[in-house]
Amino acid sequence: AQRSIKDQNLLLEQRVTERTALLADRESHLRSVIDNVPAMIAFVDADQRYGFANTRYQLTFAPGDRDLTGRAVCEVLGDVRYGIAKPLIERALQGQSTTYDWEPFPGVWQVIQYEPKFNAAGGVEGYYVLGTDITERRKMEAALRASEARLSRVLEGADQGYWDWDLQTDHFQVSARWETMLGYNPGEMKIDVTQWATLIHPDDLPKAMRAIEDHMTGLSSKHEFELRVRTKDGGWRWILTRGGIVQRSSAGVPLVMSGTHTDITRAKAHASELDHVAHYDVLTGLPNRRLLSDRLQQMILRADRHGWQSAVCVLDLDEFKRINDQHGREVGDRFLLGIAENVKAVLRGEDTLARLGGDEFVVLLSELGSAEAGVQVLERILDTVRQPIQVGEHHLSTSASIGASLYPADHADPDTLLRHADHAMLLAKQGGKNRYQLFDPETDRLTQLRLEQLHQLEEAMNLDEFVLFYQPKVDLSNGQVIGAEALIRWRHPERGLLSPGEFLPCLHGSDLEQPLGEWVIKTALRQIETWAAQGLDLPISVNVSAHHLMRPDFCDRLALTLGRHPGVRPSNLELEVLETAAIADMQKAVDTLNQCLALGVGFSLDDFGTGYSSLTYLRKLPVQTLKIDQSFVRDMLTDQDDLSIVQGVIQLAAAFRRRVIAEGVETMEHGAALRAMGCHLAQGYGIARPMPAADLPGWCRQWQRDGIWRSLCGGPGSEIDQRPSVEPLTQH
């Protein structure tokens, strides 16, 4: 048994030794592991002395020493570092786990963790220290922070907010500026993309979605658009958003989209203000000329496309100047406002009322079913303008004159349409105001042409391109040359010699008639003097247009002209007045003729027989001569009716004791017939064509020498037929 106890002891001892060796082995293994992890590990006891510190810890804080066991923490760390760690150490010794970052050496950062160790009774025996070097991580973080700070400074400087959209989760992250832009406090908005969409103005949402979709599907490399976003207080701000996909998966799937927001509300407001000033009239708020021109263009395009009728109308108030003068500018302005409102009220939504300035407005009527529909609107407008308007204590009223051009009847460009309407408006004014006038494209074309021609005629006058030709009048009974009719010609630099039929009709009724008529009279008077100086005493008749004759100062000016030619006997001047002109305003004609008679000049009624003047008129008119119209004379040898008229006129003249002369005597046969009927005064190609003044004295001598008239007594046509040489004396 003794042996067995001894054996047992031996065995036990052996086992203990083995265990101890095993434990030592394990400890050294653990120790080597702990020494080789890339972290600082230590244990500090309640007296703040190291119970243990691994190699890395010891190399970090006491590189010169071998073993820190038993050494005081304050001594190993040094005063400065201990000063920082002390409160945290104390907390650990009170049983709290503690973690902190610190910079024990310049440029070296560590995260330190204290973990208290409790004994069985719950008291704190000490604490474990775990330290990790985080210098690299810190450097990266610092760099990141710096770049973030830079980015936000840039964004802030540009007053931009930015946003981040996680396309996987639809999480939407925004910057503080993004929030304040919309009136929120920083950090207040926590929204996802669906909520974000509800803040977008419904009118702008489709545009925004389209832009983003285009970008997502690769149609655009970035997206950029303007939209209105609702603010916290329910208003709207204009935002310019720019963005794009900033992150994709390795398979190319978009992961994150981000971008910026800029508040462009002010710029937008400014732009729309500018737009308003540029396109609207300040007083009435109606479209101005510029916007009108856009609208007009649009109207024409639509009219062309849909085959609609449209109208451009110019409206001008008739009495606005009086109102303005009587009541002052302010009342005038308010009156205009009232008119604008009233007119607007009778128009439809698709029509446009614009103000060109002053009291001139333009109305565009589009989509008219017919011209009549347009006319009805014009009548409604005239009606509403006539309604009195109350301004202060005044009841003011006026009327309007409207000119309208209908499209496409007047198929012109916008400017021309407007000009035509304006032209028609002037006609409405001339027609007595308070009315509308439709523009007539055909009349206008002629007016244009006429204005052009008038201008050329004026030029011709200034350049002295007119001349008078003279056609002799003779007495067939004795061969005497009793006078000459002055007939105007235009020596046109390109077209040659033009007869009055080619340019006088254009002159009719114009202001140029008087100066030209006066030129003719003056030239004729000078011609009488010239011929008189050559020993030829010859009366001249000149044609006077009705318009010229009816001017109130006709006689006075004629008297003045005669006064400048004292050598001319007034009875040597005869005025030929168209019968039709004389009967248009009989009383006035009679007065004028009587005044001129008093000056000594004589009159003949030209183209007699064409004007159907009654015998009463003929008795009243103080004319000495009736001139049988050439149309009757020309055909009287073949046309019995014309012959009767010629006969009638001759008898009439005899009854009223007037001289009678036949014009258009083309052959001596005509001359003989006339003589036989009792009319021996004649003028016509059969005697002589109109000729330049210089040729006339020569012609007179020749005429006397030839003595053709003598043969007329011997019966119609006897000798004359063998004498074709009568005509070619002139050079037409």
Cβ-based nearer residue to ligand C2E, 131 or 517: 517
CB of 517 to ligand C2E, least distance (A): 6
Total of chain residues touching ligand C2E, rule CB under 6 A:
24
Q: Which of residues 575-634 bind ligand C2E (CB under 6 A)?
A: 576, 606-607, 630
Of residues 377 and 460, the one with the C-beta less far from ligand C2E: 460
Give the CA count within 13 Å in the CB-facing half-sphere of 447: 10
664 binds, among Ca ion, ligand C2E, none (CB under 5 to 8 A by kind): ligand C2E
Q: How many CB atoms lie within 10 A of CB 630?
A: 18
Q: Under the criterion CB under 6 A, does residue 220 sit at the interface with ligand C2E?
A: no
Q: Residue holding tokens 């010891």?
A: 58
Q: Which of 337, 461, 504, 643 binds ligand C2E (CB under 6 A)?
A: 504
Q: Is the peptide bond before 408 cis (omega within 30 degrees of 0)?
A: yes
Query: Cβ distance 206 to 212 under 8 Å?
Result: no
Q: Which of residues 436-475 bind ligand C2E (CB under 6 A)?
A: 471
User: Between residues 351 and 606, which has the closer beta carbon with respect to ligand C2E?
Assistant: 606
CB of 548 to Ca ion, least distance (A): 14
Residue 427 exposure: Cα atoms within 13 Å on the Cβ side: 18
Candidates 237-245, 537-545, 608-616, 695-703: pick the segment binding ligand C2E (CB under 6 A).
537-545
For residue 187, state whether it binds ligand C2E (rule: CB under 6 A): no
Answer yes or no whether residue 281 interacts with Ca ion by CB under 5 A: no
Q: How many CB atoms lie within 10 A of CB 304?
A: 13
Q: CB-wise, 174 or 542, nearer to Ca ion?
A: 542
Q: How many Å apart are CA 664 and CA 250, to the nearest integer? A: 109
The one of Ca ion, ligand C2E, none whose footprint includes residue 110, by CB under 5 to 8 A per kind, is: none
Which of 265-278 are b and which e, b meaning 16 or more Cβ less than 10 Å from the residue's Cβ? beebeeeeeeeeee
d(CA 622, CA 629): 19
- Given 51, 244, 500, 716, the residue binding ligand C2E (CB under 6 A): 500
389 or 605: whose CB is closer to Ca ion? 605
Report the residue number, 425 or 691, with the smaller CB distance to ligand C2E. 691
Whether residue 582 contacts residue 557, with contact meaning beta carbons closer than 8 Å, is answered with no
Whole-angstrom CA distances from 712 to 634, 704, 715, 726 are: 18, 14, 6, 14
Write the Ramachandran bin of 194: left for phi over 0, alpha for psi from -120 to 50, otherwise beta: alpha
* From the list ligand C2E, Ca ion, none, partner contacted by residue 690 (C-beta under 5 to 8 A by kind): ligand C2E
For ligand C2E, the closer of residues 482 and 504 by Cβ is: 504
Of 252 and 501, which has the nearer Cβ to ligand C2E? 501
Closest CA to 625 of 603, 596, 601: 603
| Nearer of residues 215 and 689 to ligand C2E, judged by Cβ | 689
Rounded to 5 degrees, φ, ψ at 472 are -65, 150
Q: Which two tokens stand for residue 455?
A: 């201008």
Distance of CA 668 to the CA centre of its chain: 70
List the Cα angle 340/345/346 in 5-degree steps: 110
* Residue 175 makes contact with Ca ion by CB under 5 A: no
DSSP per-residue letters across 104-130: EETTEEEEEEEEEEE-TTS-EEEEEEE
**Which position's Cβ is nearest Ca ion?**
576
Q: Which residues pair with 238 in a beta bridge?
A: 228
Q: Which amino acid is at 264?
A: I
Q: Which of residues 562-591 bind Ca ion (CB under 5 A)?
A: 576
Q: Which stretch binds ligand C2E (CB under 6 A): 157-165, 485-493, 586-594, 712-720?
A: 485-493
Distance of CA 481 to the CA centre of its chain: 69
Structural contact between residues 276 and 270, judged by C-beta atoms closer than 8 angstroms: no
| Identified binder of ligand C2E from the candidate list 122, 349, 493, 501, rule CB under 6 A | 501
Question: Which residue from 78, 94, 14, 83 is spatially nearest to 46, judged by alpha carbons?
Answer: 94
Using the contact rule CB under 5 A, the part of the chain among 132-140, 146-154, 530-538, 542-550 near Ca ion is 542-550
Q: Which of ligand C2E, Ca ion, none is residue 410 near (CB under 5 to 8 Å by kind)? A: none
**Residue 671 touching ligand C2E (CB under 6 A):** no
Q: Which two tokens stand for residue 254?
A: 């978009």
Stretch that binds ligand C2E, among 115-123, 297-305, 495-503, 552-560 (CB under 6 A): 495-503
Of the residues 62, 200, 353, 520, which one makes contact with ligand C2E according to CB under 6 A = 520
Task: Pick the closest to residue 506 from 458, 468, 554, 442 (CA basis).
Answer: 458
Q: Which stretch binds ligand C2E (CB under 6 A): 48-56, 158-166, 441-449, 486-494?
A: 486-494
User: What is the bridge-based pairing of β-strands 309-317 and 400-407?
Assistant: antiparallel
**Residue 543 in contact with ligand C2E, rule: CB under 6 A:** yes
Q: What does the block give as tokens for 707? A: 């003595």
For ligand C2E, the binding residue among 45, 75, 518, 666 (CB under 6 A) is 666
- Say whether residue 545 binds ligand C2E (CB under 6 A): yes
**Smallest separation, CB 673 to Ca ion (Å):** 19
Residues 600-639 close enough to bind Ca ion by CB under 5 A: 606-607
Measure the CA–CA gap between 460 and 495, rounded to whole angstroms: 13
Interaction mask 564-583, ligand C2E, x per CB under 6 A: ------------x-------
- The residues binding Ca ion (CB under 5 A) are 543, 576, 606-607
- The residues binding ligand C2E (CB under 6 A) are 471, 486-488, 499-501, 504, 520, 542-545, 576, 606-607, 630, 663-666, 684-685, 690
